[in-house]
Amino acid sequence: MTVAGDARLQKLWQRGKDFLGVEQAILGGAMSWVSERNLVAAISNAGGFGVLACGNMTPDLLENEIIATRALTGKPFAVNLITMHPDIQKLIDVCLRLKVSHVVLAGGIPAAAAIKRLKDGGARVICFAPALVLAKKLIRSGAEALVIEGSEAGGHIGPVSTSVLAQEILPFIKEVPIFVAGGIGRGDVMASYLEMGASGVQLGTVFVCATESIAHENFKKAFLRGNSRDAVTSVQLDPRFPVIPVRALKNRASESFLQAQRDVIAKYQSGQLDMKAAQLEIEHYWAGALRKAVIDGDVEAGSLMAGQIVGMVKNQRPVQEIIDELVTQAGFYLSVD
C-alpha cells in the first residue's frame, strides 16, 4: 500500500470509523450460528467491527453470548436483532442492560418506538435500507446509520443488486453513514463504494472460512468448493404468501424448503397460523436448517447460506489476514490516479 493510497482510504471511511469506533470500517455480517463470540471477537480484535447474530436466541442466551464475547475482546461490537422475534422487547432490554454500544435492527422495517427506545438507552442504531424511500423513512424514525445490502449477499436478501442500490441511495443520503454489503470480496471493490459515498462496508461470506470461525469443517469445505453459480435464491411457491428469499448453496435442503413452505401455507390457509406466525415458522425452518449445516456438519439436509462471492473464498486463514488484505488492496486501488 502506498502512503497516498492509505491516506485517501482513511479519509474516505473516517466517518464510518468514527461512528463504529474502529480502525477499519468493515462490519462482519451477522450470520446465525457463525457470527458468535469467537468470530465476532476476532473481527473486532483485527480492527474491524464484529456483529453478534442474535437470530432465534432467547434473552438469556443472548445475555450469555454478549458477556462471553466481551471476555474475548475489549473492542466495540454490535448485536444484530431480528425485528420479528417474538421477544424483541426483552432482547432490547438485554442490550440496554449490558450497555451494548451498537444495535443492528434487521429482518424487516423496525418500529420508530424500538429505535427511540434503544437510542434513549444509549445504544447507536443501525438499520437495513432496501430502497431510497425506506432509507429516508428510517432516518426520520431515528436510524443513525444504514446498511444497504444487495441481492448478491448470502442469507435473507432483497431483489435489487448492490451496484444498483448504491447508485440509487448513496448520492442522495448524506445525513447518516451508509455501509454497503453484498458481493464484496476485494479491497478495490470496497474502495470504489467508498468513493461513491459509502462510509464503510459489511462482509459476511468472506469470513465464514476464517480459522477463528467455529463453522463445521464440512460447512467450510462446501464454501471452498462452491462457485458463484452455486449460490442460488430460494423459490417462493405462492405469491399470496410472501417469504423473504434466501441465497444459499444448492443442496437437498433447497428442495426441503419447498415442502416446508407447502406445510406452512396449508396451516395459514386453514386458519392455524396468521401471517406473522407463518412467516416466523419459516424463519424457524431456516434457523434449524442452518444449525444442521454450521454446527452438525450436515451439508445436505442443512442450509448452506452463502453470498455469490463464495467463489472467491479459496482457503482458511485468520481474520486479521483477511482484513489486512482488503485494506492493502483498497490502498493500492486508491493510489492510482
Q: Which of 173, 192, 178, 125 is nearest to 149 (CA)?
A: 178
Report the alpha-carbon distance of residue 145 to residue 175 in Å, rounded. 9
Which grid coordinates are listed for 56? Answer: 432465534
Task: Kindly indicate the confidence band of residue 156, based on its pLDDT and cuts at 50, 70 and 90.
Answer: confident
pLDDT of residue 241: 63
Question: Can you give the pTM of this predicted structure?
Answer: 0.93
Question: Residue 337 above 70 pLDDT?
Answer: no
Q: Which of 59-68, 269-278, 322-331 has the lowest average pLDDT? A: 269-278
Q: Which residue has the higher pLDDT, 58 or 235?
A: 58
Taking CB atoms within 8 Å and a gap of at least 24, the contacts of 71-76 are 71/37, 72/37, 72/38, 72/41, 72/45, 73/40, 73/41, 73/44, 73/45, 75/22, 75/41, 75/44, 75/45, 75/50, 76/20, 76/21, 76/22, 76/44, 76/49, 76/101, 76/102
Report the alpha-carbon distance of residue 244 to residue 233 in Å, rounded. 10
Question: H or E element: which one contains 78?
Answer: strand 77-82
Task: Judge whether 197 and 218 are in contact, CB under 8 Å.
Answer: no
Which domains does the chain possess? 3-213+312-332 (3.20.20.70), 217-309 (no CATH)
Report the alpha-carbon distance of residue 106 to residue 77 in Å, rounded. 16
Q: For residue 250, what are the contacts with CB-CB under 8 A and spacing of at least 6? A: 230, 232
Report the 10 Å Cβ neighbour count for 162: 23
Mean pLDDT score, 134-139: 97
Q: Among residues of the chain, what percentage have pLDDT more than 90?
A: 79
